[in-house]
Amino acid sequence: MGKAILFSAPSGCGKTTIIKELMQYFDCFDFSISATSRAPRGEEENGRDYYFLSREEFKARVERDEFLEWEEVYSGTCYGTLKSEIQRIWDAGKVIVFDVDVNGGRNIKKYFGEDALSIFVLPPSVEVLEQRLRSRGTDSEEAIVKRLARSAEELKQAPQFDVTIVNDNLQRAVQETRNVIEKFINE
Ligand code: ADP
Ligand code: 5GP
């Protein structure tokens, strides 16, 4: 089994931003592209950010047992990790990077055990989280309300992760994340 780094946090905490910075630094990383039944947002591309599937196609793949884990993260919107992604990345001899919700993070950590480093990204405050979701400018008011409603419960689960990183100043948060990952990879 190869190694894996998994990032979880409520939506808007900065996982995607931090992962993008780290991908430029760690050549050994490859991002696990999840499947989702939501529509692309902003500049997102199929096969790069997500595999965008219809709800029917997503369900068919669940029936065919193609997912390592999947969740209906928001009502009506499913996200999941395809087993084929893990195979693809390990065949290339790379370290898998996951960006998953908090439940998915717990399930993936259970599956990989010591071979995974689980990282929880915290916002400096709930107020800042709300500001970031709004300033991202990619979600409808309804989606923002759903995401904030879910975040309180998710934030309580931070202590179950191996490491927590407060994403206040981005460069500081990236540096701190780099340090813990380097230690884990070289162990
Ligand atoms: P997530 O992937 O966790 O949903 P994003 O990476 O999309 O979150 O970040 C949400 C928004 O917050 C984006 O607009 C991003 O540019 C911004 N952001 C991320 N980190 C910081 C930071 N440290 N300071 C200020 N804005 C940030
Ligand atoms: P977004 O719509 O903002 O891209 O993602 C919403 C939430 O779904 C985020 O918390 C993200 O981490 C999570 N997510 C993305 N892919 C997966 C996945 O494969 N499995 C699970 N369980 N959650 C995922």
Structure tokens at 184: 């884990």
Structure tokens at 124: 């400096």
Distance in Å, CA 63 to ligand 1 centroid: 34
Residue whose CA lies nearest to ligand 2 atom number 8: 101
Sequence letter at residue 80:
G
Structure tokens at 71: 């969740």
- Indicate if the pLDDT at residue 105 is higher than 90: yes
Find out whether 83 and 69 touch, Cβ atoms under 8 Å. Answer: no
pLDDT tens, position by position, 13-72: 999 999 999 999 999 999 999 999 999 988 999 999 999 999 999 999 999 999 999 999
- Indicate if the pLDDT at residue 114 is higher than 90: yes
Query: In which band, very low, low, confident or very high, does the pLDDT at 113 lie, cut at 50, 70 and 90?
Result: very high
Distance in Å, CA 121 to ligand 2 centroid: 14
> What local confidence, expressed as pLDDT, does residue 12 receive?
95
Distance in Å, CA 100 to ligand 2 centroid: 4
Ligand 1: atom nearest CA of 19 is 6
Please list, in sequence order, all residues whose beta carbon lies within 8 angstroms of the beta carbon of residue 1, skipping any fewer than 6 positions away: 112, 115
171 Cβ closer than 6 Å to some ligand 1 atom: no
Collapsing DSSP to helix, strand or coil, 60 comes out as helix
144 Cβ closer than 6 Å to some ligand 1 atom: no
184 Cβ closer than 6 Å to some ligand 2 atom: no
pLDDT tens, position by position, 129-187: 999 999 998 889 999 999 999 999 999 999 999 999 999 999 999 999 999 999 999 88
Structure tokens at 31: 């991002």
DSSP conformational letter for 120: E
139 Cβ closer than 6 Å to some ligand 2 atom: no
> What local confidence, expressed as pLDDT, does residue 8 receive?
97
> What local confidence, expressed as pLDDT, does residue 24 receive?
95
Distance in Å, CA 44 to ligand 1 centroid: 15
> What local confidence, expressed as pLDDT, does residue 75 receive?
83
Residue whose CA lies nearest to ligand 2 atom number 10: 101
Helix and strand tally (H, E) in the chain?
7, 9
Find out whether 154 and 11 touch, Cβ atoms under 8 Å. Answer: no
> What local confidence, expressed as pLDDT, does residue 1 receive?
78
Rounded to the nearest 10 degrees, how much is the dihedral formed by the CA atoms of 178, 100, 152, 139? 100
Collapsing DSSP to helix, strand or coil, 18 comes out as helix
User: Mean pLDDT throughout 96-116?
Assistant: 96
Collapsing DSSP to helix, strand or coil, 141 comes out as helix
DSSP conformational letter for 28: T
Given the structure tokens 């950590």, which residue do they identify? Answer: 109
